[in-house]
Amino acid sequence: MKEAPEAADGRYVLYWMQSAQRTEHNPALEHAVAEANRLGLPLVVGFGLTCAYPEAAARHYAFMLEGLADVARGVKARGATFVIRQGEPDAVALELSRQARLVVCDAGYLRLQRLWRRRLAQALDRPLVRVEGEVVVPLLTVSQKHEYAARTIRPKIERLWDDYLVPLDAAPLANRTAIDLASDIDLSDPLAALKRLDVDWSVPPVRRFRGGEGEARRRLDAFVNHALADYGALRGKPEAGAVSHLSPYLHFGQISPMEIASAVRGAAPAGSEGRKAYLEELIIRRELAINHAWHAPDTYDRYEGLPDWARATLADHGSDARPHLYDAATLEAAATHDDYWNAAMREMTATGYMHNRMRMYWGKKILQWSATPEAAFETVLSLNNRYLLDGRDANSYANVGWIFGLHDRPWPSQPVFGTVRSMGANMFKSFDAPAYLAQVKQMAAAEASV
């Protein structure tokens, strides 16, 4: 990312950790270990924590701090030094780099993440190596253009993924000298650490999900051993418990998509419905979303980033009568006429998660019940980012965009939607909707008892 002479007086190699918040199956960490071994130097893993990340609240910080506590233990076990400090991440990395021979960083795809890396590269006077590990196939190896649908990117990824789905060995760190660098956040008690941060507490932590690569791996093992075989048939049934629930862990980099894909491929025969469906979502759809964020850096989270045809048809139907009109506050309060929609909203606000089938219905109804498509987009995006643990993510931004036509095609015209795909109550005939309502009620009660 930046070519410069190595600092001859550097005391260590620095890995600035940001996107890949884990110590296993982490290509950036393994590259940093290899560089430290080449130079005979110790390794420092540094993390900068900003309390001003856009739209992040106590819910998101709690999950992240739980994961970073795992990281701290894992880095120590590898024989390296872990340092976590409050501040803008690139500024923390720059300060830690002053005693480093060279710096390694992981990849980020969103606007702010790219800005941090760009600012560090501009300020740094020693090499900066960026190592991509949050996709299965490197972004620009797949395609150097903006892909418009899964059908265009799928063959490009499938031609290459066998070359990249290979084991990543963890090499021992030769120089295990501890470096005397102070942290200013104590991760021995993540909740206590959270309470000392100046963050938004209006969206509190949840019990349903605990952060960390250990918990992510436990969920992965449970999925491949108990749910994967029926995933193809049951993934669209929110009450069935057939999904992996790994999206929050992927968002925070607490588990590698490579590790998940390898486990799924190893547990299910080629051609099986469950394996095919899961890899489609994990690799094809997720990496299509990352492609979108990378090639549309100014608009991936804006109404203007939707396809021309979708904005045109929504504009043509902007004056259509809406069956119901709800403002953002009523929607956030889950106070609509639709019990199923209200349950989905409560699942989100109470637990930080919503089944993907319900997310589709939830977002489509906001489009149908809002005065304008632009207002609907802002409401969907705001609620998505505020409450979901996997919000504020390339995949999540693409999911929001899909509600309004992104990565989709025109369908037969309907009121309000025009040729953007709609969703109606008929979907509830395909699963046990009353059971879903009961589950949400139980989950919300469990969260309220904290």
pLDDT tens per residue, range 231-247: 999 999 999 999 999 99
Assess whether pLDDT exceeds 70 at residue 93: yes
Q: 308 and 432: one domain?
A: yes
Amino acid, res. 269? P
Encoding tokens for residue 268? 């299910």
Let me know whether 139 and 53 are in one domain: no
Q: Rounded to an integer, what distance in angstroms lies between the CA atom of residue 87 and that of residue 95?
A: 11
Query: Do residue 166 and residue 241 come from a single domain?
Result: yes
Take residue 280 and report the two structure tokens written for it: 């489609």
Domain check: are 348 and 396 in the same one?
yes
Choosing from 295, 313, 337, the residue where a domain stops is 295
Q: What is the pTM of this model?
A: 0.97
Q: Look up residue 256 and give its two tokens.
A: 């590698």
Q: Are 45 and 15 in contact (CB under 8 A)?
A: yes
Best CA proximity match to 173, nearest among 383, 30, 379, 341: 30
Same domain for 158 and 111? no
Q: Are residues 268 and 330 in the same domain?
A: no
- 123 in helix, strand or coil? helix
Single-letter code of the amino acid located at 400: V
Please give the pLDDT value at position 405. 98
Q: Looking up tokens 């590269």, which residue turns up?
A: 121
d(CA 102, CA 167): 26
Same domain assignment for residues 314 and 348: yes
Classify residue 183: in a domain, yes or no: no
- What CATH number has the domain bearing residue 244? 1.25.40.80
Nearest CA to 259 out of 291, 234, 232, 283 is that of: 283
The total domain count for the chain is 3
**CATH number of domain containing 37:** 3.40.50.620
- DSSP bridge partners of 103: 14, 128
Domain containing residue 147: 135-170+212-295
In the chain, % of residues over pLDDT 70 = 99
For 130-174, the pLDDT digits (tens) are: 999 999 999 999 999 999 999 999 999 999 999 999 999 999 999
DSSP string, 143-176: -SS---SHHHHHHHHHTTHHHH------PPPS--
**Residue located via tokens 């910080």:** 61
Nearest to 420 by CA among 311, 326, 324, 323: 311
DSSP 281: I
Q: Does 162 lie in the same domain as 65? A: no
Amino acid at 260: I
Asked if 112 and 149 sit in the same domain, the reply is no
Whole-angstrom Cα distance, residue 203 to residue 325? 26
Q: Is 247 domain-assigned?
A: yes
The CATH number of the domain holding residue 390 is: 1.10.579.10
- Euclidean distance between CA atoms 170 and 146, whole angstroms: 34
CA-CA distance, 432 to 434, in Å (whole number)?
Answer: 6
Q: What is the pLDDT of residue 4?
A: 75
Q: Kindly tell me if the per-residue pLDDT of 261 is higher than 70.
A: yes
How many other C-beta atoms lie within 10 A of the C-beta of residue 35? 21
Q: Which two tokens stand for residue 144?
A: 């150097």
Cα 59 from Cα 190, distance rounded (Å): 12
Q: Which residues contact 194 (CB under 8 A, 6 or more apart)?
A: 58, 61, 62, 65, 205
Which pLDDT belongs to residue 450? 61
- Using CA of residue 305, residue 308, residue 309, residue 313, what is the dihedral sign? positive
Closest CA to 174 of 17, 12, 23: 12
Same-domain pairing of 324 and 357:
yes
CA-wise closest residue to 344 among 366, 368, 362, 356: 362
Shared domain for 164 and 289, answered yes or no, is yes
- pLDDT tens, position by position, 143-153: 999 999 999 99
State how far the Cα of 157 lies from the Cα of 117, in Å rounded to an integer: 26
Q: Say if 59 falls within a structural domain.
A: yes
Rounded to the nearest 5 degrees, what angle is found at the Cα of 296, between the Cα atoms of 294 and 302?
125
Note whether residue 197 is domain-resident.
Answer: no
Confidence label for 374 from pLDDT (cuts 50, 70 and 90): very high
Is residue 281 in some structural domain?
yes
Domain boundary among 86, 109, 133: 133
Are 284 and 310 found together in one domain? no
Name the pairing type of β-strands 128-131 and 43-49: unpaired
